Amino acid sequence: MAEPDRRHLPGRQLIDAYGGGGFRFADLAHKGSLLGLPSGMWAWPYAAPDELDEAAFARVLAEADEIDTLLVGSGADLVPLRPAPREALKAAGITVEVMTTGAAARTWNILVGERRRVAAALLAVR
């Protein structure tokens, strides 16, 4: 299990670019995976879909009362989320939409722009 990362930028930010192992947002470059939550943008210490267990979504579940939909960017390829984390998120009232990271980043930008109650868990793409 990966250790929680405390790197965080308050506020939901639009994603300007992704790839090369990271993301660009708010005039910053971030290497690695990323969580976009109501509380802000968080470094997310996961690199592959098979690492995504219930613990990977602890921050998401902690903010569940402010989230209707979670976009999961599974990397360059579409990889379904395992049943245990999907069920934990569903039990918290969160709808999960899994897509490639590029599609999830673009959808995040649209839904944030619409002020929707959305979160994103985005695996970095090389």
pLDDT at position 2, please?
A: 57
Q: Where are the domains of the chain?
A: 8-122
What kind of architecture, by CATH, is found in domain 8-122? 3-Layer(aba) Sandwich (3.40)
CA distance 123 to 91: 23
Q: Are 34 and 43 within 8 A, CB to CB? A: yes
pLDDT at position 36, please?
A: 98
pLDDT tens-place values along the chain, 126 residues long: 455 556 789 999 999 999 999 999 999 999 999 999 999 999 999 999 999 999 999 999 999 999 999 999 999 999 999 999 999 999 999 999 999 999 999 999 999 999 999 999 999 999
pLDDT at position 5, please?
A: 59
Q: Are 30 and 2 within 8 A, CB to CB? A: no
Closest CA to 33 of 18, 25, 43: 43
